[in-house]
Structure 1
Amino acid sequence: MRPYHQIPILECGERLVEIPLEMFAVESPHPYEKLGASYGNYSPYYLRESVVKNLIQAQNYLQLLRPNWHIQIFDAYRPVAVQQFMVDYSFSTALEERGLTEAELTPKQCQEIWEAVYEIWAVPSMDEKMPPPHSTGAAVDITLVDEVGQIINMGSPIDEMSERSHPDYYAYKDHPDAHYYHTHRQLLSDVMLKAGFQRNPKEWWHFCYGDQMWAWLNHQATAFYGRLC
């Protein structure tokens, strides 16, 4: 259980709508579909209607500060089945990086790897009281693209399981590019927060509006988006 799971959900029933991708940059093919995740009849490029409106506002704010820059949509709506796929994929990747197989893991090693996975990934729970944020259609993973279509280097890739994923990791680091990385992470955060979003305290790329995490960070008594599937 995460701290935000204490927030009750009063589902408002707002529909999922397609993100107008012509207004944003997008990675193609979709990064999780490329790995083998199946969205079935769903699309990763959908969000709740108000979330899309706010995302468009954030893009407009970005344009005022950096003309011809775009928010790049990495991932948005995510069915629980895709959440499970990515959790399992991340566990397997962590094993491979450590040169281990699941059969030879000690209980301590297994626990350490799962803790690293769940530091980044929400539990793919079907419990209506604690839905994965992306399965509510209220969370989006994003980065920035400059005026020539170049993805801005944020100092770590999206979904990296390390402390470099923490939003303020480079704020006080003695690294030659620390100021560059932190400035652009902050730019992304500024335009999103101005549009009503909140940022995941442990992921520079994850922003949400209306779900439990948003309500918790925004000191709201209830969330108004729950799990959709």
Structure 2
Amino acid sequence: MLKPYQSLPIQDCGEPLVAIPLTEFSTETPPPYARLGADYGDQSPYCLRAGVLAALQDAQANLRRIEPGWSLHIFDAYRPLAVQQFMVDYTYGELLKGRSLSPDALSNAQQADLWQEVYQFWAAPNPDPATPPPHSTGAALDLTLINALGELVPMGGEIDEISVRSHPDYYAHPQNDREQTYGDHRQLLRDAMAAAGFRQHPNEWWHFSQGDQLWAWLNQQSDPTGEYLARYGRVIF
């Protein structure tokens, strides 16, 4: 299932995939998808293209100018195709389990509806170099905020949650103080990342990218007269 942004051309700049310095950022150990059983082989999820890492360091500096002592908490960054496939299948299974559905009892229409839900949030693990999943380019990452006490900041929804609460602007019109806080935290993350050149996924408050097809497509939506190329394609070892 191709997404609109995957029609944009890629002109890979050849920048290397480099390790995120874990002393500079907050991360999870072990990585979340590895805990679920995803096999990264000899790769680490805590890697990005060199230019994207430099932008991420700028984003954290932006955050700390507003909230001293706070950090970006990286949930997931580089993702091999095998891990993308694992998580797509895992998410489908979790939807079945959460709704007490048996895969053998589903009609074709029901299966199609479930897969549509999955692919609203997950890119297909397509091996075609022209249509890579964003995380497989080393130009996308999932992240949230951690405060000066080392506590995860409440964002009003979990990373990877398949729900309308995952939409970045879900709390744009808060009904109470708690929702206002969630909205403020989401805006803080968005502002810190945007000031460093990142674009946010339209459906996911936690997903940001720079230089991939989604980033180029979002720039084109903002500026239809411009011509945008993705500068990062799938990392191939």
> Which of 204, 220, 235 is residue 228 of structure 1 equivalent to?
235
Q: Give the drift of 1:228.
A: 1.1
Q: 2:106 is aligned with what amino acid?
A: L
Structure 2: how far apart are the matches of 1:110 and 1:176? Answer: 39
Q: 2:235 is aligned with what amino acid?
A: L
Q: Give the drift of 1:172.
A: 1.4
The answer as to whether partners of 2:156 and 2:165 remain within 8 angstroms in 1 is yes
Structure 2: how far apart are the matches of 1:107 and 1:176? Answer: 43
- For 1:65-84, list aligned pairs within 5 A: 65-84=66-85
Match of 2:7 in 1: 6
Q: 2:175 is aligned with what amino acid?
A: D
Structure 2: how far apart are the matches of 1:111 and 1:122? Answer: 15
Q: Give the drift of 1:174.
A: 2.4
Structure 2: how far apart are the matches of 1:39 and 1:27? Answer: 15
Structure 1: how far apart are the matches of 2:174 and 2:128? Answer: 39
Match of 1:174 in 2: 175
The CA deviation string for residues 177-201 of structure 1, in whole angstroms up to 9 with x for no partner, is 1111111001000000000111001
Structure 1: how far apart are the matches of 2:91 and 2:52? Answer: 27
Match of 2:212 in 1: 211
The CA deviation string for residues 61-82 of structure 1, in whole angstroms up to 9 with x for no partner, is 1111000000000000000110
Structure 1: how far apart are the matches of 2:4 and 2:107? Answer: 29
Tell me how many residue pairs correspond in the alignment. 229
The CA RMSD over aligned residues, in Å, is: 0.9
The CA deviation string for residues 65-104 of structure 1, in whole angstroms up to 9 with x for no partner, is 0000000000000001100000000000000001011111
Q: Give the drift of 1:175.
A: 4.5
Match of 2:128 in 1: 127
Structure 1: how far apart are the matches of 2:48 and 2:228? Answer: 22
Q: 2:84 is aligned with what amino acid?
A: Q
Match of 2:223 in 1: none
Structure 2: how far apart are the matches of 1:194 and 1:120? Answer: 24
- For 1:48-59, list aligned pairs within 5 A: 48-59=49-60
Structure 1: how far apart are the matches of 2:177 and 2:165? Answer: 15
TM-score by length of 1: 0.98
Q: Give the drift of 1:173.
A: 4.1
- For 1:113-124, list aligned pairs within 5 A: 113-124=114-125
Structure 2: how far apart are the matches of 1:221 and 1:46? Answer: 24
TM-score by length of 2: 0.95
Q: Give the drift of 1:28.
A: 1.3
- For 1:25-104, list aligned pairs within 5 A: 25-104=26-105
Identity, % of aligned positions: 52
Deviating beyond 2 angstroms after TM superposition, the runs of 4 or more aligned structure 1 residues are: 173-176
